Copies of this chain bind each other. A is one copy, B any other.
Amino acid sequence: MKEIVNCVAYADGQRRADVELNKVHEALKNSGQFVWIGLHEPSENVLQRVQEEFNLHDLAIEDAHRAHQRPKIELYGDTLFIVLRTAQAIQQNHIEFGETHFFVGKNFIVIVRHGSSVAYTEVRARCEATPELLSKGPGFVLYAIMDFIVDRYFPVVHGLETELETIEEKIFNDRPSRETTEQIYQLKRELLEVKRAVSPLMEICSRLVRFDIKSISSETQPYFRDIHDHVMRINEMVDNTRELLNTALEANFSLISISQNDTSKKFAGWAAIFAVPTMVAGFWGMNFRFLPETDWQYGFYTVILGTAGVCSLLYFLFRRSGWL
């Protein structure tokens, strides 16, 4: 995938022209136009050109290059700099995180994608299909992509919820196992990672709503409030899953103990049953001259049968009282 994915000028919500990165300042002379630039893991070289075109702050450019930032919002002069983490559920149990950085000015928006995130061509197409919204400027583009990013967290979190259900199933239906415990731990780890990616978003959204930022028209505020709402829902789902997981861990623990108690009881019960024939055999094994019925032909079988009877009785008694 090339570094500069797209570099397009828009006016009145309509795509006007593809411009070259070097000639962006010319396009910006038209007061009604704004430029939307999409970059993918850009080289220092490209970033430097962008910096010069839009007069961006050193620190923001450094962040945009190095990536591995935590989600944040900064205002350098009139330019807004936003960092978001993106997430994708690759397989059921594996989440891949990426990063997207935004530089938003009055007449430009630069979007820098890092890591395994999906391209935003779909969002661009959708925006171009609603010119009345796109005409609100870079602020709306920012909203559209943030909305796209946040919406992709829902399947991720649903995946984690499903995982919790699998764990519940195992805890309450199967016997306790080392695997379940390790799964609980892994799920906890994933939840923490998602939490870490999502929770700063609330602060970001509420700052976009509350503060008066020049590069974002006030009309778009309800839209950011909407994202704020989605983020709160995701956050709540994560917290919920986390709390249930903690309870699951404790329930698991209780069940392990109950299971251990069952083992002990079962063992004790069988030991008691086996103690009977041992004792009986011991008595008739004593070397007394006068042992009862030793001369009777069916003595042996009688004793065996009697013992078996007592054992069966014990078995049923133990069964009834829950020891077996």
Which chain B residues border A189 with CB–CB below 8 Å?
244
Interface residues on chain A, number (Cβ under 8 Å): 85
Query: Using Cβ atoms and an 8 Å threshold, which residues of chain B touch A192?
Result: 240, 243-244
Which of chain B's residues has its CB closest to A268's CB?
B267
Q: Which residue of B lies closest to A185 (CB)?
A: B251
**Which of A70, A232, A282, A291: most chain B Cβ within 10 A?**
A282
Given the contacts A57-B222, A182-B251, A192-B243, A258 and B290 also touching, CB distance less than 8 Å: no
Do A247 and B188 contact each other (CB < 8 Å), given the known contacts A252-B254, A287-B286?
Answer: yes
Interface-central residue, A172, A267, A272, A277, by most chain B CB under 10 Å: A267
A282-B282, A289-B295 as given contacts; A181 in contact with B271, CB under 8 Å: no
Stretch among A7-15, A18-26, A31-39, A298-306 lining the B interface:
A298-306
Cβ–Cβ contact A233 & B70, under 8 A: yes
Q: Does A217 contact B (CB under 8 A)?
A: no
User: Could you say which of B177, B188, B275 contacts A274, with CB atoms under 8 Å apart?
Assistant: B275
Q: Flag whether A47 is at the interface (Cβ < 8 A).
A: no
B229/A72 in contact, CB under 8 A: yes
Closest chain-B Cβ to A124's Cβ sits at a distance in Å of 21
A sample of 15 cross-chain residue pairs with beta-carbon separation below 8 angstroms, ordered by A number, consists of: A185-B248, A188-B247, A196-B240, A249-B254, A250-B253, A260-B261, A266-B268, A278-B279, A281-B286, A282-B282, A283-B304, A284-B286, A288-B299, A289-B294, A290-B298
